[in-house]
Amino acid sequence: MKRDLDLMREILVFIEDHSPPSGGLTTPLAIAGYDRDTVLAHAELLIDEGYIDAKVIRVMSGPIDIMVNRLTNRGHDAIAAAKNRTMWQKVEKTAVEQGVSLTFGLAIELVKAEVKKHLGLPL
Range of the domain at 94: 79-119
* Cα angle 71, 82, 24; round to 5: 20
Whether residue 45 sits in one domain with residue 26: yes
Whether residue 84 sits in one domain with residue 67: no
Fill in the amino acid letter for 87.
M
Query: What are the pLDDT tens digits along the chain (123 aa)?
Result: 899 999 999 999 999 999 999 989 999 999 999 999 999 999 999 999 999 999 989 888 877 889 999 999 999 999 998 888 888 998 999 888 999 888 999 999 999 888 888 888 787
Helix axes 5-17, 104-119, angle to 10 degrees: 70
The closest of 114, 117, 113, 95 to 6, measured between CA atoms, is: 95
Query: Contact at 8 Å (CB) between 75 and 15?
Result: yes
Whether residue 50 sits in one domain with residue 18: yes
**What's the total number of domains in the chain?**
2
Whether residue 90 sits in one domain with residue 66: no
Rounded to whole angstroms, the Cα distance separating 21 from 101 reads 35
Distances (CA, A) of 10 to 33, 34, 54, 59, 99: 11, 11, 16, 25, 23
Q: Would you give the DSSP letter of residue 56? A: E
